[in-house]
Copies of this chain bind each other. A is one copy, B any other.
Amino acid sequence: MADTGPDLEPEDRRRVVLKDVAALAGVSVKTVSNVVNGYVHVTPATRARVEAAIRELNYRPNLSARNLRQGRSGVIALAVPELDIPYFAELARLVVAAAEERSLTVLVDQTGGDRAREQLVAEGIRAHLIDGLIFSPLALTGEDLAARTDDTPMVLLGERIHHGPADHVVVRNVEAAREATLHLARLGRRRVAAIGAQDHPAAGTARLRLAGYREALAAAGLPADDGLVAPVAAYHRADGARAMARLLDRADPPDAVFCFNDLLALGALRTLLERGVDVPGDIAVAGFDDIEDGRYATPTLTTVAPDKEQLARRAVELLAERMAGAAPAAREIHVPHRLVVRESTAGRPARPAPDPAAAGRTS
C-alpha cells in the first residue's frame, strides 16, 4: 500500500506539500488540512491514515505561518495545582483522552496553586500556544477571573469559583460531604470528626465539604464539636497522618472520621494502623475522590466517587463549543457522584466459613 504514494526522489522531499499527503492517504486536501490543524470532525481512522502519510513523506507543515493566518494551534491547556495529587493525575488522563477524541492535544500546566502563576495562566500570557483553557484554580477568586482580559475560551473545573464568569463543571460538594458524614452517623458513630478544614480565603473545597459535614451532624442529631474539626495546611497524606495523630491525642478521640480527600484519609489510616487502632472497629474512616490507591489500601477506603470521566468529558465538550464560536451565558454543570462503601467503614467481609462438605465424608 505504501508503494502507491507519489514517487518522490529524496531531494524532492523538502518540497512535499499538503496535496502529496492527501494523495498518499487517499483523502481530500481539506481533510489533511483538518488533521494538521487539529480540527474536530475527523474520524480516528482517517486521522491515523493521514498521520501515517505525513510521517512517510516527512511532511512538515509551515505551522508558525499557519498560526498567524488561522489562529489555531490544535492545543488546549489543562492547568491544575499539582500533578502528583492522584486526583488531578487521573483527571489529566481523562481530559487527554476526551480531547484526543476531538483531535486536540492537551498541554498540562502545573500551577502549584500559586496565585501569580494562576494569574499568568488566566491572563493568557501563553495564549499564542493554546486555543482554549481548562482551569482548576486554587488561589484566584471569581473577581480575579471576571477581571480577566484575555479572551481565550476557558472552562473552570472544581469548586473554587462559583457563579463565576466562565463555564464551570463541578461536583455537588455539600451534598456529597453530607452523604459521607451521614453514612458514618448511620453506623452508630457519635463522635464523627472531620479532617481537612482550611480557613484561608481560597479554600473553596474545604468550606463546602465542611458545610456538608455540619449539615449531616445536625440532621443526625449529633452535637457539633469544633474540637473534632481538624485543620490542615494541605491535602496530602502527611497532613492527614498528622491531623489524625492530634485527634487521637485528645481526651475524647473520635469514633469516625470524614476526610475531605482520599490522600488525607490514607494518611489518617496509616496513623491509626501504626497506633494499633482498629479500622473500622474503633474508628471508621471515609474519604473523597475515589483515587485508585484507596481501592488497594488495607482496609480499602470508603469514599465519595465523583464521575471523573464525565467531569473531563463535559469540560472538553463545553470548551470545544466555545472554541467553535458559541457564546452562551456562563454555564454551571454538575456531574454525578456516589458514595462507595468499602472496608474502612463496613469492615472486612467475613472470610467464607470452611465448607462442611469439604471437611471429610466422616463428619
Contacts and interface: CB of A to CB of B under 8 A. Distances in A.
Copy tally for this chain in the complex stands at 2
A107 B110 contact: no
B149 A58 contact: yes
Interface stretch (A84-92, A132-140, A188-196): A84-92
Contact of A89 (B84, B96, B296): B84
Contact of A75 (B86, B129, B297): B129
Interface stretch (A246-254, A262-270, A316-324, A330-338): A262-270
Interface string A266-277: 110110010010
Contacts of A269: 296, 298
A326 interface: no
Contacts of A54: 125
Report the contact-size class of chain A (Cβ under 8 Å from the partner): 35 or more
Contacts of A93: 82-84, 110
A35 to B, nearest CB: 10
A67 B120 contact: no
Given A67-B128, A237-B296, A48 B116 contact: yes
A51 interface: yes
A87 to B, nearest CB: 10
Contacts of A205: none
Contacts of A106: 109-110
Interface-central residue, A63, A107, A119, by most chain B CB under 10 Å? A107
11 contacts: A51-B120, A55-B120, A58-B149, A60-B125, A63-B126, A83-B96, A105-B109, A107-B129, A108-B110, A267-B296, A273-B298
Given A82-B93, A83-B96, A129-B129, 10 more contacts: A60-B125, A63-B128, A65-B68, A84-B93, A86-B86, A96-B110, A107-B109, A266-B296, A297-B297, A297-B298
A68 B149 CA distance: 25
Interface of A: 48, 51-52, 54-55, 58, 60, 63-65, 67-68, 73, 75, 82-84, 86, 89-90, 92-93, 96, 105-110, 116, 119-120, 123, 125-129, 149, 237, 241, 266-267, 269-270, 273, 276, 292-293, 295-298, 351
A267 B105 CA distance: 32
A114 to B, nearest CB: 10
A84 B92 contact: yes
Interface-central residue, A83, A93, A107, A241, by most chain B CB under 10 Å? A83
Contacts of A351: 276
A92 B67 contact: no
A108 B45 CA distance: 25
A298 B270 contact: yes
Contacts of A96: 83, 110
A64 B73 CA distance: 11
A310 B293 CA distance: 26
A80 to B, nearest CB: 10
A64 B128 contact: yes
